[in-house]
Structure 1
Amino acid sequence: MNQVSTMAGLRRLAPYLRPARGKFILSAVAVLGSMVCGLTIPLVLQHILDGPVARRETGPLPWLVLVIAVLGAAEALMFYLRRKLVAGPSTLVEARMRADIYAHLQRLPISFHDRWQSGQLLSRAVSDLSTLRRFIAFAGIFLVVNTLTLVLGLVVLFFLAPVLGVITLVCAAPLILISTQYESKYAVLTRRSQDQVGDLATVVEESVLGIRVLKAFGRGPHLARRFAARARELRGTELRKIRLLATLWGAIILLPELGISAQLLFGSLGVADGSMTVGTLVAGITVATYLRWPTDSIGWLLAETNQAATAAARYWEVRDAEVTITDPEHPADLPADGVGAVRFDGVRFAHPGADREVLAGVDLDLRPGETVALVGATGSGKSTLTMLVPRLADVTAGRVSVDGVDVRDLRLADLRSVVAMAFEEPVLFSASVRENVALGAPGVTDEQVREALRVAQAEEFVDRLPWGLDTRIGEEGLSLSGGQRQRLALARAVVGRPKVLVLDDPLSALDVHTEAEVERALRAVLSGVTALVVAHRPSTVRLADRVALLDQGRIAAIGTHEELLKTCAAYREQLSTVDDEPAEVAS
């Protein structure tokens, strides 16, 4: 992970704040104006007590009371304006940052998503951004304004009576030291808490998505204990945060109270010996009381700032992750008369930081319109090889080309418009059947969707669904059988009529009869399409024009199914390990 200093993370929010900078400034001005109105009221009160009240003159009183009412109304109005001014921009900042992190997650390579827990990504895109919105809309503004209010209040107190200002300053100074001391400790606990929230979200997500497995093996109580343990860890961290804040709040409440007591003592003595007027004492106490909120809020605002800074750091950890698979600076174009020829030249691949290469020099040609089956032991690199064609990963060395053009020289959109893929684990979304299939080629008509469903032998079961193409399938398609999900995923892959079709064993959940129907449909409808198919069943291998055996990261043998059965012992051994049908029967 890319570690980002906490305060630097907050400073990097500036580009998001800049479009609405004017409204944020006006909001701060409104808050400051309301504070000024509040601090002016004690001065008017002093004038009333030391003027008309002391002289027993009632004439000016209504006007002075009216001034206080106007100042109070202005204070309330400015608070309203602050809310109104900041609500829209702060939620807009949150929405833009959430859209940016979502778009960035789509651009990041598969290797990034393999390393990160989904719950951690979810907490950064949801709860951390909500924390930042609250800071932008409230804590950030008040941290500045309350500090200015404290300074302005001290100026007013020194103007009224220096002794009152000194007492307030002496009691306020330790608060800054105490808050600074607790800030670093609170920052550590805040980061730990937010990471634990991500871990907890991951456990919940896994338990929901894997509910069938948990129930089937009776492991629900086990995961419940795991969830409870994570929840207890989070609770412990939150309690430590609360204990830290409780100590801080104790000091924040005690010191101003002591200050007001000292002001009453020295002020009363001053009134008694004539060095201070009653109006000055009342105004000073009123100002000190008014400063309670800015003073009391310091600890809470610093805690909110720490929490926001940690949330910003977590956000930038993801946003700063490098997008390694991008469009080239000077992209090439596919030939207008391209036929879908695919070539692997000395292809090597190793996962970042891994000591061992998954692919160690693969050479393979797929002729236009040819179907090549890829066979190999588990872990031999079959799925990795298929991912290189649409650039879900990039080669470490060597070259993958389509119609003679290196895939790294093509725009991703151009490459993926001619290369389609269906995975071994079909992923469907909480959307209608139509939307799931059309995901493979936006803008296709209903007739094209139905044609793709016919190819995948899925039209019949789709028509039996309650609303046909409009039927919404559950999350990840769990309301469907494994075979139904795979057929929809296959329909999605072929709906755009790609020139190159990559199938990572997408037929594994189909029964033999349905698989044969799908294979016949593929042969009939996708003639002329170049296909690379990861195969485990001999029946699937027979779909191919040629078969390539992948062993220890290299193509160990290539030929027709019958040729390899006769000449390659490793191929015969590989097929004999599959619980489908004996190799000699398949031949």
Structure 2
Amino acid sequence: MTLVRLVREHLRPYRNLVAVLVVLQLVGTMASLYLPSLNGQIIDNGVAKGDTAYILQTGSWMLAVSLVQITATIGATYLGARSAASLGRDLRGSLFTRVTEFSAQEVSRFGAPTLISRNTNDVTQVQQAVFMALAFMVSAPIMMVGGVIMALREDVGLSWLVAVAVPLLALGVGLIIRRMIPQFRLMQESVDWVNRILREQITGIRVVRAFVREDHERQRFAEANTQYTGTALAVGRLMALAFPLVMLVFNASTVAVLWFGSHRVASGEMQIGELTAFMSYLMQILMSVMMATFMSMMLPRATVSAGRIGDVLGTTSSVTEREHPVPLPTGRTTVELRDVEFTYPGADAPVLHGVSMTAEPGHTTAIIGSTGSGKSTLVSLVPRLYDVTGGALLLAGVDVRDASLEDVWSRIGLVPQRPYLFTGTVASNLRYGDTDATDDELWEALRVAQADDFVRAMPGGLDAPIAQGGTNVSGGQRQRLAIARAIVAKPDVYLFDDAFSAVDVATDARLRAALRPVTRDAAVIVVAQRVSTIVDADHIVVLDGGRVVGSGRHEELLETCPTYVEIVESQRSAEEVAA
């Protein structure tokens, strides 16, 4: 998406503001063009002839015109800032909305660091470029054309100076801008790299310290920071070169006007007031060229940023809704997989092959298997974090691809393998499940999740603060709070993706016992590594290499499924060794 198209689409709601801004800039520019002429008339007709009345009368006109110019400029700048800020707000909102619509596939493709920098740094670059455009790019061409006309009115004999100075300035700054474009692209990529490394270091600080890798991580960040600094310095050097060039052209033009103009004044071909006015017009012309060229310096980086923003806005989620979705039936909800196959984008082989299973309401269906067997992938298909690439997944008898996303999500309570808590309080996190939940309902959910004891011990209880990601509580506490959040939602389908892995065996047993009466009317799907977690399940599905190799109750699988027996024996041996 180009910068022009992006701005045009998102500035459309503010076209009235922009129209008023253009009018104000027209008024302000015309006033500024009229002032040098009045000043020249005072010098030639008032000062030269000693006509005080003429000086006062024309001076009053100059004050009035200056007042109009100042008022119009202030109004135009205010409207430009407001329009640009509104554009930035809308772009950030559009990016946030689009990212929340992405499936896990699109989020993984872009990556969190670049999505963050596109919604912050890139939007800021576009916003600044738009403000500069609204503030100067309307008045700059008018001032340039008007300045040329007014300068020619004052004296045609010096017009060749305009024909030399303007192209010289435009050419010099243009060459500098041409070299800046690739540097701006590198700068935005460097921002992504710095954000990615910083985010990894903050998120994985415990791992970094556990393996004493602080020096290695400092080196990684130093490399990314050095690259960003080098790119920024390269851009800075080019910008620093532009200012002396502009001043050189300005000062050389002033000297040239005074030199050649003085000869014309001495020969009587030009008045002193006309020379003063011509010099002012030349400065206005060069100022307009300078504003346009400096604006052009911002355009390359803004164009790169607009392209990065457009990439996100132009990406549609691989998980989409039908134009006319099928409503899910009310009542008890069954989850059914029919010959399901799933392949990750770019992968050579499917992760799941021909998986068929049914999770009935009031029953607990467990999924177990070795690492990499596809357990978490299977659970991710139910809430449509991904869509199946073969077969069908039915919720309440309806293919989830035919139902609305909100309808599907409202039926499901998901506790992911790595639960995430948001910045806020215990209560605010639990009320993600139900915003209208009472404190009594929250405490009941905490009791079932075996989390009420440590929450009561926290300062503030339900109002105890939770840090971003839940980093101020332990892994087991974080899992139990996530389970309580799902319980508060009272869904028709519970998905526990290895959600009991961080709690001890005794707490695991108490938690599962407390869950049974709460989930007696819901379909419960449990992914687990420990056999003890799923030994009492009504139905156990064993995965190996993405295929179902066993299905039944614990006792049945011990007799019919060698893979399940192997898992049981390996854990029993581990327990014996630990004992």
| Separation of aligned partners in 1, 2:42 and 2:155 | 17
| Separation of aligned partners in 2, 1:193 and 1:550 | 47
- 1:28 counterpart residue number: 22
How far 1:336 moved relative to its partner?
Answer: 2.7
The letter for the 2-side match of 1:33 is: V
Which of 234, 255, 277 is 1:283 aligned to?
277
Asked if 1:327 corresponds to 2:321, the answer is: yes
Which of 449, 454, 457 is 2:442 aligned to?
449
How far 1:350 moved relative to its partner?
Answer: 0.4
Are the equivalent residues in 2 in contact too, given 1:249–1:296 (CA < 8 A)?
A: no
Change (3 A) 1:442 1:327: farther
Q: 1:159-209: CA deviations, max 9, x gaps?
A: 111133321122111333334444343222112101211211222222222
| Separation of aligned partners in 2, 1:294 and 1:578 | 78
- 1:472 counterpart residue number: 465
Asked if 1:370 corresponds to 2:360, the answer is: no
- 2:179 counterpart residue number: 185
Asked if 1:169 corresponds to 2:166, the answer is: no
- 2:8 counterpart residue number: 14
How far 1:584 moved relative to its partner?
Answer: 14
- 1:306 counterpart residue number: 300
Deviates more, 1:426-435 or 1:239-248: 239-248
Deviates more, 1:114-123 or 1:349-358: 114-123
Asked if 1:268 corresponds to 2:262, the answer is: yes
The letter for the 1-side match of 2:414 is: M
DSSP-derived class of the 2:138 partner = helix
Which of 517, 522, 547 is 2:515 aligned to?
522
How far 1:583 moved relative to its partner?
Answer: 10
Are the equivalent residues in 1 in contact too, given 2:3–2:302 (CA < 8 A)?
A: no
Report the TM-score, using the length of structure 1 for normalisation: 0.94
Are the equivalent residues in 2 in contact too, given 1:179–1:298 (CA < 8 A)?
A: no
Which of 342, 351, 354 is 1:349 aligned to?
342
Asked if 1:316 corresponds to 2:310, the answer is: yes
The letter for the 2-side match of 1:227 is: F
Are the equivalent residues in 1 in contact too, given 2:125–2:305 (CA < 8 A)?
A: yes
| Separation of aligned partners in 2, 1:319 and 1:373 | 39
| Separation of aligned partners in 1, 2:572 and 2:435 | 39
How far 1:487 moved relative to its partner?
Answer: 0.2
Are the equivalent residues in 2 in contact too, given 1:422–1:490 (CA < 8 A)?
A: yes
Q: 1:38-82: CA deviations, max 9, x gaps?
A: 221110111112212222222211111222222222222222112
Which of 237, 247, 250 is 1:256 aligned to?
250
Which of 67, 91, 95 is 2:89 aligned to?
95
Q: 1:471-513: CA deviations, max 9, x gaps?
A: 1201111100111000011111121221111110001100111
DSSP-derived class of the 1:162 partner = coil
Asked if 1:150 corresponds to 2:144, the answer is: yes
Are the equivalent residues in 1 in contact too, given 2:143–2:284 (CA < 8 A)?
A: no
Are the equivalent residues in 2 in contact too, given 1:343–1:401 (CA < 8 A)?
A: yes
Asked if 1:564 corresponds to 2:554, the answer is: no
| Separation of aligned partners in 1, 2:209 and 2:514 | 37
How far 1:397 moved relative to its partner?
Answer: 0.9
Are the equivalent residues in 2 in contact too, given 1:388–1:394 (CA < 8 A)?
A: yes
- 1:434 counterpart residue number: 427
Are the equivalent residues in 2 in contact too, given 1:140–1:305 (CA < 8 A)?
A: no
How far 1:578 moved relative to its partner?
Answer: 4.2
How far 1:580 moved relative to its partner?
Answer: 8.5
Are the equivalent residues in 2 in contact too, given 1:576–1:583 (CA < 8 A)?
A: no
DSSP-derived class of the 1:13 partner = helix
How far 1:137 moved relative to its partner?
Answer: 2.1
Change (3 A) 1:156 1:563: same
Are the equivalent residues in 2 in contact too, given 1:150–1:295 (CA < 8 A)?
A: yes
DSSP-derived class of the 2:450 partner = coil
Asked if 1:204 corresponds to 2:205, the answer is: no
Deviates more, 1:425-434 or 1:324-333: 324-333
| Separation of aligned partners in 2, 1:106 and 1:261 | 60
Deviates more, 1:239-248 or 1:367-376: 239-248
Which of 532, 542, 549 is 1:539 aligned to?
532
How far 1:234 moved relative to its partner?
Answer: 0.7
DSSP-derived class of the 2:465 partner = coil
How far 1:132 moved relative to its partner?
Answer: 1.9
Q: 1:129-168: CA deviations, max 9, x gaps?
A: 1222222222344123212211111111111111333211
How far 1:326 moved relative to its partner?
Answer: 2.3
The letter for the 2-side match of 1:28 is: V
Asked if 1:159 corresponds to 2:153, the answer is: yes
| Separation of aligned partners in 2, 1:580 and 1:49 | 105
How far 1:251 moved relative to its partner?
Answer: 2.9
Q: 1:329-358: CA deviations, max 9, x gaps?
A: 121122233x22111101000011211100
Q: 1:100-135: CA deviations, max 9, x gaps?
A: 111111100101112233221111111221222222
How far 1:31 moved relative to its partner?
Answer: 2.9
Asked if 1:400 corresponds to 2:390, the answer is: no
Q: 1:286-314: CA deviations, max 9, x gaps?
A: 22233443233233210112222222111
Asked if 1:63 corresponds to 2:63, the answer is: no
| Separation of aligned partners in 2, 1:211 and 1:584 | 32
Q: 1:2-50: CA deviations, max 9, x gaps?
A: xx4xxx2332221221121121222233233223222211101111122
How far 1:235 moved relative to its partner?
Answer: 0.9
Change (3 A) 1:166 1:540: same
Gaps of 5+ in 2: none
- 1:76 counterpart residue number: 70
How far 1:531 moved relative to its partner?
Answer: 1.1
Q: 1:425-476: CA deviations, max 9, x gaps?
A: 1100001111111112332222222222122111121111111111120111
DSSP-derived class of the 1:501 partner = strand
- C-alpha RMSD of matched pairs (Å): 2.0
DSSP-derived class of the 1:163 partner = coil
Report the TM-score, using the length of structure 2 for normalisation: 0.96
Are the equivalent residues in 2 in contact too, given 1:536–1:578 (CA < 8 A)?
A: no
Which of 109, 113, 123 is 2:117 aligned to?
123
- 2:99 counterpart residue number: 105
The letter for the 2-side match of 1:432 is: T
Matches within 5 A, 1:217-256: 217-256=211-250
Deviates more, 1:572-581 or 1:248-257: 572-581
The letter for the 2-side match of 1:525 is: V
Are the equivalent residues in 2 in contact too, given 1:49–1:278 (CA < 8 A)?
A: yes
Gaps of 5+ in 1: none
| Separation of aligned partners in 2, 1:148 and 1:82 | 15
- 2:80 counterpart residue number: 86
